[in-house]
Amino acid sequence: MLKTGASMDKNTQIFLDFWKSYQWPKDIATVYKLYYDDLGKPLFYTTQDLPGNYIEITVADFFAASMNVIVKNNCLEKIEKNQIRKLKPSSIAGTQCHPADVSIVVSKDSDYKLWCVDND
């Protein structure tokens, strides 16, 4: 006949001894990173350890995942300036474009109109 009382006591002791000596694994802190190119422009956000230039960022910056930032002096800077630029006709310098379509760049041998970026 099986002695359940003795068996349970032995199992209980094994269980208690196990938990007395058990070492919980330490939490590994998640590192949030922004990888960027040589000019400081963002490439991608990740928590992985990959080759390339990166800076550690905050959780908020990670989840915002803004591409309107630049990395300068190992710091993340938001780009506040409006990045829209307007083309304007020029008579002095610029890109030679088809007279009827600014999106078509042509050679100097063709008829062309000069266009440049308006920095205002």
Per DSSP bridges, beta strands 86-90 and 101-105 are unpaired
In a domain, 98, yes or no: yes
In a domain, 67, yes or no: yes
In a domain, 100, yes or no: yes
In a domain, 9, yes or no: no
What is the share, in percent, of the chain residues with pLDDT greater than 90? 40
In a domain, 22, yes or no: no
The residues with which 46 forms a beta bridge, in sequence order, are: 33
In tens, the pLDDT along 6-64 reads 556 888 888 998 999 998 888 888 999 999 999 999 999 999 999 999 999 999 999 99
Token pair 């006949």 in the structure block, residue = 1
In a domain, 23, yes or no: no
Determine whether 61 is exposed, middle or buried from the number of CB atoms within 10 Å of its CB (0-12, 13-18, 19+).
middle
Q: Yes or no: say if 85 and 115 are a contact pair by the CB < 8 Å rule.
A: no
Cα–Cα dist 36/69, whole Å: 10
**Tally of domains in the chain:** 2
Q: What share of the chain is helix, strand, coil (3-state, %, to 5)?
A: 20, 35, 45
Question: Model pTM?
Answer: 0.50
What are the start-end ranges of the H helices in the chain? 4-21, 59-64
Token pair 């078509």 in the structure block, residue = 104
In a domain, 43, yes or no: yes
**pLDDT (0 to 100) of residue 83:** 62
| Domain extent for 65 | 33-78
Residue 113 and residue 94 share a domain? yes
